Structure 1
Amino acid sequence: MIRLFFLVGLWLFSTNTLLAKATTEDGGTIQGKIITADGNPAANVTVVLKEITKGVTTNESGEFRFKNVPNGKYQLEVSLIGFETITKEVEIVNNKPVSVQIEITQSSQKLEEVVVTSGGNRFAKKESDDVSKLSLKNIENPQVYSVVGKELMKEQLITDYNAAFKNIPGAGIPIVYNQGRSTAISRGFTTANLVRNGVGGFIYTSIDPANLERIEVIKGPSATLFGSTLASFGGLFNRVTKKPFETFKGEVSYSGASWDLNRITLDVNTPLNQEKTALFRFNGAVHSERSFQDAGFSKNFLLAPSLSYKVNDKLTLLLDIEMSGYKATSPTRVTTYTKGVAKSVEELGMPYKLSFANNTIAYTSQQLNVFGQVKYKLSESWTSQTVFSRTRSSSDGYVVGLTILSDSTLRQAVTSQEYPYYGTNIQQNFKGDFYIGNMRNRVVIGADFYNLQSSRNDATINMPAINFKKPGAAYNNFTVEKVSPQFATATFVNYTRVRDNTYSAYVSDVINVTDQLLAMASLRVDYYQARGAYYPANDSTAGAFNQTALSPKFGLVYQVVKNQVSLFANYMNGFENLSGTDYNGNTFKPQQANQWEAGIKLDALNNKLNATLSYYDISVTNMLRDDPDHTNFSLQDGTQLSKGFEAEVIANPIPGLNVVAGYAYNESKYDKANKSIEGLRPASAGPDKMANLWISYRFVKGNAKGLGFAFGGNYGSESYQTNTQAFVFTIPSYTVLDASVFYDRSAFRIGLKVDNLTNEKYWSNRLAAQNPTRVTANLTYKF
């Protein structure tokens, strides 16, 4: 495969050279970049070459280009609705290219507001400094990623973090665990929410979306730049929080919905001094709702201040904090009966609106996340970025699990728990942008320390079996008064469960071999130190081990049409540290995932069409399977395969009309594993076919300006809750449709949304019944 990459690169280079020679020099090139007053790229700005009445629109990086312009002097006219037009004179001599940079007087935040109201491709803002840890445009990046921005979340009246994942191709229905933490699917692998602002932000509890600028979904094994502790073999989810900007702005919002949902959010931003070097932003939320089922509730608050300070032209400091608290009942978790008649959740026949829970049996959680960043400009070519992230999340109280005992009975199991988790991530990056000869190099060199520690203090008691089809009076016996006395004689487990350190170093270089051909080469070395679980009762430690792993990454991008159409291919690696030894005492190696992927990216028609289509093939090796010759031992020769096709299209075909569409097909199987699962699709891989759609139209002119309508939905094929040679339990396919209407003006926004229009019954992988038809109303005042 390395030889193939070399041959493809050589062919692309040769083709590019021949094309360059074959092109006649009919004129010069005028290219440039438009930036805002706060130094960010200005997208969707119109640039006109007045003398020849030719116009273009800047891309997401604020860049524009005019080709084959005859020699002479010209006036560049930069304009955007609501802003004063800027004119700049340029001259082409002897067909030589001209580069310019123009600054508009407004901030990026103000510019974004104008793009929204003027009908641009407002959901296609994919440029990111976190995905590659470099300032790399999406069309230059050989990796696939999706972005769910705050504008799309606002339009869909997202009040729950997990609801935003309906916009991500292949994510499926998120799984919500006992304490409110959640995972989704990425390329057939369960993927947790462990990354915040590009570094470790471990959250063991629920996440409130009020402080989210965007969610970045990075596809494929991503250990090279993020490490094995943060990324699954399918990718990772990066939560990007809202940051301060240079103008005063704010909004207060109220949402009310079915099942007594009441939610208030506040977002206020202000400069703290006249020079606008000190900036402050505060986001907050208060939220409460109950379940559509007979029992179940959630109450929470969020406080999220952030402060940035520009010490001078070289040094900038940022401090970002999130604090939240929850009180809630635990989500539904059902363990199936493997010897029963029922082979699907529909056949099981559990009443859809019964929770088999009680509001007195609840838990509380707290979360604190502190993020600090120091940026220092070392020179024109090099920048230093130092990041510190500290997290604490805890969950205390009762959680409930349901175990099916027969085709008509279940048992409620209650766990009394105390789970505090502590995470620390310190990261140092040096980023360079320089030329070696005619080749541009964009480089990141980094070192990373990550520590995760947690404790455990819990016990579980089992309640008497009840008939879940006709529970009768026994249904009312499940209360905290009946449950809590049983823990007086229960056996509690008390130990420090996780004490892990990871020390890493990495380097990544993106080289412009030519103006249109880019190559990426990256490598990470990772030293993992598991100090084992400490049992204070015995003053003993078990499970300690150390491992070292290398994770390479390579990519090629050829821009068939500069900044508009690119072909890409990548090789990516991920790994997972494994403890233990085989029968002969050999220490297990890290489990490895290797991905090969190729596809096409579009950012065409003046940013009206943004699309990514790709095919990937992931092979996982060094998996453990039972040793058939030695009981209680494992062999490390297991393999798992995951391959498929993904497509995402974000379009703005006419002013005011925006479309977000995605499709994912995934084929996963245990290729070499225990006989009970060999050749089968993992139940955790979710549906093999999934699709998402959101179509939105907003009037951009006339008396109805700001009025909009939207319609969308999600589809998932049949999937498995359990899939073994001995027992198969399926979850049916689903099609869920949503619609909304909104009116968005400069001073206020009104929205109304109906989720699950057809009242579809559908379930998560844990057999948690999902919401039936729900109506949400929102009123937002802007100032």
Structure 2
Amino acid sequence: MPHKKPGDRSANFTPGNNNDLFNHYYLNKTMHFTLTYFFAARLNYILSFSLLLSISTPLSAQNINGSVKGTVKTSDGQPAEFVTVTIKETGQATGVGQNGHYTIHNVKPGNYTIFASFVSLNTQTRQITVKSGHITVADFILTENEQQLQGVYVKDYKANKFLKKETDDISKLPLKNLENPQVYSVVTSALMKEQVVTNFNDAYKSIPGAGVPLVYNNGRSSLLSRGFPTENLVRNGISGFDYNSVDPANIEKIEAIKGPSGTLFNSGMISFGGLFNRVTKKPFDTFKGEVGYAAGGFDLNRLTADINTPLNADKSALFRINTAVHSEHSFQDQGFTRSIFLAPSFSYQVNDKLSIQLDAEISNYNATSAYRLAPYANAKSKVHNIKDLGINYNLSFINNTLDYTSQQFDVFGQVNYKISSTWKSQTSFARTFSTTKGFVTQLTGVSDSTLKQSVQKEDFPYYGLNVQQNFTGDFKIGGLRNRLVVGVDVYSQKSNRDYTTVTMPTINFKHPGAAYNNYNADKVNALAATSPYIYYQTNQTTYGAYASDVLNLTDKLSVMLSIRADRFNNKGTYYPNADSTVGKYAQTALSPKLGLVYQLIKDQVSLFGNYMNGFSNATGTDFNGNTFKPQQANQWETGIKLDAWQHKISSTLSYYHISVSNVTRDDPDHAGFSMQDGTQLSKGFEAEVIANPFPGFNVIAGYAYNYSVFTKANASVQGLRPAASGPDRLANLWLSYKLMNGKAEGLGFGLGGNYGSASYQTNTTTFVFRIPSYTIIDATAFYDQPRYRFGLKLDNLTNQQYWSFRLAPQNPARLTASINLKF
């Protein structure tokens, strides 16, 4: 029996592919009881685990010393990141994190003088008493130092407000950007607010090389990273995959990690170009809230709320909730989106060593399928460009009765435990459930003037579980500093799919006439009643173990050595009607990583280089029965990073070279079989600049050039650029200015845009279909005050027509107005 080729629709689903699968589950009126029960059960489990950890700690090490913690803010109530807090008598010091929090551990009992200091701010001093086994709280509010400012009033000392490069997520270690040999970009919630972002995909406009979002039928999306389509599958460093749209209401920042990052992340969560990690909002220890409303073109209505509060007097228990209600119609004649989103988050500081966090994301999403068009890919076709096709930009060729409902119920947890002064433990879990039920539509060209409308009526629930355990250490061996993470990761996914396919009669898309109205739920249901249904189940598990060490050979020179081992177990696709399972297999893969960093100027300029590996599991066997190996991607990269003039300019310039091996292709000698000797090359240059040249003025600029080619493949694509690689040149720019003093203080303006060169929807030796280049310009105006904020945003102000890889027409010009009330 001939083996099915990779890409066959009946092949088993793996996260990250482009199959249009959907899932559905009905969230009934008892959801809040279920959520309460789940939280209680998880909390009981975590507390029990924490108690065991506490018991295992030698009693002699407990209740000897104390600790000092608190918050540091500027006079306008903003977190004072980068401030240093020091205990004068002992010299113990720590930096303030991005939320304005600090903690100094292992302080001997006694009376001390503690102070917070930073350039351009007045140093503040406090007297404290530290008791054995207790936490002493010392908060600071720092004011501007007028003499140091020399008459220049800077309300926010950290004026480069869009610079949030420091993160532990990228390497799972506390590395600064200049110490990290990997390239990454970060989009902050502050930037999303200034750009009046109302949907998740618009947040990617400021990531170099991301391109136009590819939106699937249930709202989920992917973008480009170094010429590879890359989905949004990672949340706070572990799996956060759902078969539905991501609402931006709970996003603190988005981290675009570049290159095949299989060493520290599950291979099913990455592409060979990188991964996108969304970092969610966390509770903090002061009461604060914000309610926002946005209204705009295409009947956009969006209401959001972000409420944070301590739950007890000592602020050890914190709670935060983010919500959004969203509704809009398509600019086309048919199409809509309506959603409700809820994201509660709870954190509890049990003691000086142990902290627990639980959060959830719950949503109900009702919409019509995203537009997708497959052109008439035939040598006889005379049309090779979407602009020449003649299909009406404003017609959807669907019907609002052909909608679907997608729902989400995800629970996440994290336990952090300080084992000693040099070691800590982090246990994380993610339990995800998403489901889609309804109609999935598609348009397929039959000739240069006709198309067929097809629909899948389906019910598809999807389940995921990810458990991750990390141990991280910061210690010295032989006088050399080591920062080490050792971890294990278990990820499982299950799904059930039930669907039937209906195809409508051919219509003329240039002059559709009365046939245009025949594509509706009544017509489809009548045809579906006589169509056969297909039902199957999938079940996969990945077991991973990894270690990564950063060794400081000198104060300026460091080396990173990393390795990962993965065992992938695919239990196959089960078809109950035949009581048979197909596609069952298991694979083992190793993923190494090497990085070098030399700081030319300490904490300002660094040179870096890396070797990185990523892999993707491949199912099937060749003609001789040999099991396919995982596909492998190996990247070499070098570049320079800059963070200078008190963070006023941050920049990364890099050149990368990615070679992909073990790619499957048609066996020319055995029809119906595949062989695994294909190769692909992707190389290019990326540049990013985040700057604050003078007070109030901020710049974000990026450029990406990518050269991709099939170096060994089927004859139809040999030597050609993969169509899915997108434009070979992409650029982004955002300029904003905010008045920092005077009567109009808080008034600001922003202007920016995105450019993409021409690309392909199809690129073979027999047929080529092109997508033209585009230049999009956006503008914004805002008035930001401590208690409120007004914003206006004009997207695509030149009304440019442009398309995604799926030939989906993108939004024309739209004006959006927003108001946010703060308390």
Normalised by the shorter chain, which TM-score bucket?
A: 0.7 to 0.9
Where does residue 616 of structure 2 map in the other structure?
576
Hey, what's the Cα distance between the residues in 1 that align with 2:156 and 2:473?
Answer: 37
User: Quick check: 1:652 aligned with 2:692?
Assistant: yes
Distance in 2, matches of 1:449 and 1:38, equals 38
Q: Distance in 2 between matches of 1:380 and 1:332?
A: 55
Q: Secondary structure at the match of 1:476?
A: helix
CA displacement, residues 202-226 of structure 1 (integer Å, 9 cap, x when unaligned): 1111111000001111000001000
Which residue matches 1:389? Answer: 430
**Is 2:709–2:720's contact at 8 Å kept on the other side of the alignment?**
yes
State whether residues 116 and 122 of structure 1, in contact with CA within 8 Å, keep that contact through their aligned partners in structure 2.
Answer: no
1:290 and 1:695 map into 2 onto residues whose CA distance is: 30
Aligned to 1:746: 786
AA aligned to 1:700 is M
How far is 1:43 from its partner? Answer: 3.2
Matched, 1:487 2:528: yes
The equivalent residue for 1:425 is: 466
Q: CA deviation at 1:78?
A: 2.2
SS at match of 1:644: strand
Aligned residue identity for 1:633: F
Report the counterpart of residue 159 of structure 2 in structure 1: 120
Question: Is residue 451 from structure 1 mapped to residue 510 from structure 2 by the alignment?
Answer: no
Residue of structure 2 aligned with 1:631, choices 637, 647, 671: 671
* Count of equivalent residues: 712
1:160 aligns to 2:207 (yes or no): no
Q: What is the aligned partner in structure 1 of residue 455 from structure 2?
A: 414
Correspondence for 1:188: 227
CA distance in 2, matches of 1:546, 1:117: 54
Listed as ranges, the matches of 1:295-694 within 5 Å are: 295-339=334-378, 340-496=381-537, 498-694=538-734
Query: Does the C-alpha gap of structure 1 residues 189 and 104 become closer, same or farther in structure 2, counting only changes over 3 Å?
Result: farther
Query: Once the two structures are superposed, what CA deviation does each residue of 1:215-250 show, in whole Å capped at 9, x if it has no partner?
Result: 111000001000211111000000111000010000
For 2:695, give the aligned amino acid: P
For residues 250 and 244 of structure 2, what CA distance do their matches in structure 1 show?
16
Q: Is the 8 A contact 2:83 2:116 kept in 1?
A: no
Residue 212 (str. 1) matches residue 246 (str. 2): no
SS state of the match for residue 352, structure 1? coil
Q: Is the 8 A contact 1:533 1:542 kept in 2?
A: yes
> Corresponding residue for 2:174?
135
Tell me which amino acid in the other structure corresponds to 2:410: N
Query: Helix, strand or coil: the match of 2:563?
Result: strand
**Cα distance in 2 between the residues matched to 1:423 and 1:468:** 41
C-alpha separation between the residues in 1 aligned to 2:554 and 2:736?
39
Counterpart of 1:105? Answer: 139
Structure 1 distance, partners of 2:464, 2:140, is: 39
Alpha-carbon contact 2:227-2:273 (below 8 Å) kept: yes
| Deviation at residue 37 of structure 1 after TM alignment | 2.5
How far apart, in 2, do the equivalents of 1:640 and 1:292 lie?
38
Q: Deviations over 1:336-374 (max 9, x none)?
A: 101221101001111010000111110000012211000
Report the alpha carbon displacement of residue 104 of structure 1 after superposing the two structures with TM: 7.5
1:203 to 2:242 alignment: yes
Runs of 4+ in 1 over 3 A off after TM superposition: 38-48, 57-63, 114-119
2:305 aligned with 1:266, yes or no?
yes
Displacement of 1:88: 10
Question: Would the alpha carbon gap of residues 725 and 459 (structure 1) be closer, same or farther in structure 2, given more than 3 Å must change?
Answer: same
Partners in 1 of 2:351 and 2:427 — Cα distance? 17
Deviation at 1:520, TM superposition (A): 0.1
1:43: which partner in 2?
A: 81
Q: Return closer, same or farther for 1:115/1:462 CA change in 2, 3 Å cut-off.
A: farther
Check whether the contact 2:71–2:100 (CA below 8 A) recurs between aligned residues.
Answer: no
Change (3 A) 1:198 1:116: farther
> What are the superposed Cα offsets for residues 261-286 of structure 1, whole Å, 9 maximum, x if unpaired?
00000000000000000000000000
> CA separation of 1:504/1:38 partners in 2, compared to 1, >3 Å: closer, same or farther?
farther
1:311-348 Cα deviation digits (max 9, x unpaired): 00000000010001100000001111012211010011
Letter in structure 2 aligned against 1:122: K
Question: 2:167 is paired with a residue of what secondary structure?
Answer: coil
Question: Would the aligned equivalents of 1:119 and 1:656 in 2 still touch at CA under 8 Å?
Answer: no
Equivalent residues of 1:35, 1:42 under 8 A apart: no
> In the alignment, is the contact (CA less than 8 A) between 1:170 and 1:185 conserved in 2?
yes
What whole-Å deviation, never above 9, does each CA across 1:570-627 have from its counterpart, x for those lacking one? 0000001111111111111110000000000011011000000000000000111111
Q: 1:486 to 1:148 in 2, by over 3 A?
A: same
Which sections of structure 2, spanning at least 5 residues, go unmatched? 1-67, 87-94, 102-113, 128-135, 143-152
Q: Which residue of 2 aligns with 1:146?
A: 185
- Separation in structure 2 between the aligned mates of residue 662 and residue 508 of structure 1, nearest angstrom: 30
**TM-score, scaled relative to structure 1:** 0.88
How far apart are residue 85 of structure 1 and its match?
Answer: 3.0
The 3 A distance-change label for structure 1 pair 46 and 274 is: closer
Distance 2:359 2:549 in 1: 29
Q: CA deviation at 1:170?
A: 0.3
Give the Cα–Cα distance (whole angstroms) in 2 for the partners of residues 77 and 440 of structure 1. 27
Change (3 A) 1:739 1:460: same
Q: What code does the residue aligned with 2:193 have? A: K
Check 1:478–1:305 CA distance in 2 against 1; reply closer, same or farther (3 A cut).
same
1:704-758 per-residue CA deviation (whole Å, 9 max, x = no partner) reads: 1110000000000000000000000000000000000000000000000100010
Q: Which residue of 1 aligns with 2:269?
A: 230
* Distance in 1 of aligned mates of 2:329 and 2:286: 38
Q: Deviations over 1:133-175 (max 9, x none)?
A: 0111111000000000100000000000011111110000010
Question: What SS does the corresponding residue of 2:812 show, helix, strand or coil?
Answer: coil
Is 1:713 aligned to residue 756 of structure 2?
Answer: no
Q: For 2:500 and 2:484, locate their aligned partners in 1 and report how far apart those are by CA, in whole Å.
A: 50
SS at match of 1:531: strand
Identical aligned residues as a percent: 60
- Residues 17-49 of structure 1 deviation map (CA, whole Å, 9 limit, x = unaligned): xxxxxxxxxxxxxxxxx996389995355999x
Assess if the C-alpha contact under 8 Å between 1:58 and 1:606 holds in 2: no
TM-score by length of 2: 0.84
Deviations 1:503-523 (A, max 9, x none): 010000001110000100000
1:76 Cα deviation (Å)? 9.1
CA distance in 2, matches of 1:441, 1:41: 30
1:80: how far off?
7.5
| Alpha-carbon distance in structure 2 between the residues aligned to 1:458 and 1:576 | 27
Gaps of 5+ in 1: 1-33, 49-56, 64-74, 90-101, 109-113
SS of residue in 1 equivalent to 2:362: strand
1:700 touches 1:706 (CA, 8 Å); kept in 2?
yes
Q: Distance in 2 between matches of 1:603 and 1:779?
A: 34
CA offset digits 1:609-652 (Å, max 9, x no partner): 00000000000001111111111112211100000000000000
Aligned AA (1:599): G
Asked whether the equivalents of residues 599 and 613 of structure 1 are also in contact (C-alpha less than 8 Å), the reply is yes
2:597–2:608 CA contact under 8 A, matched in 1: yes
Which of 71, 86, 104 is 2:124 aligned to?
A: 86
Q: Say which of 783, 802, 814 aligns to 1:762.
A: 802
The SS at the match of 1:255 is strand
Name the SS of the counterpart of 1:475 in structure 2.
Answer: helix
Say which SS state the counterpart of residue 522 (structure 2) adopts. helix
Cα separation, 2, equivalents of 1:360 and 1:366? 18
Q: Which of 729, 743, 751 in structure 2 is aligned with 1:703? A: 743
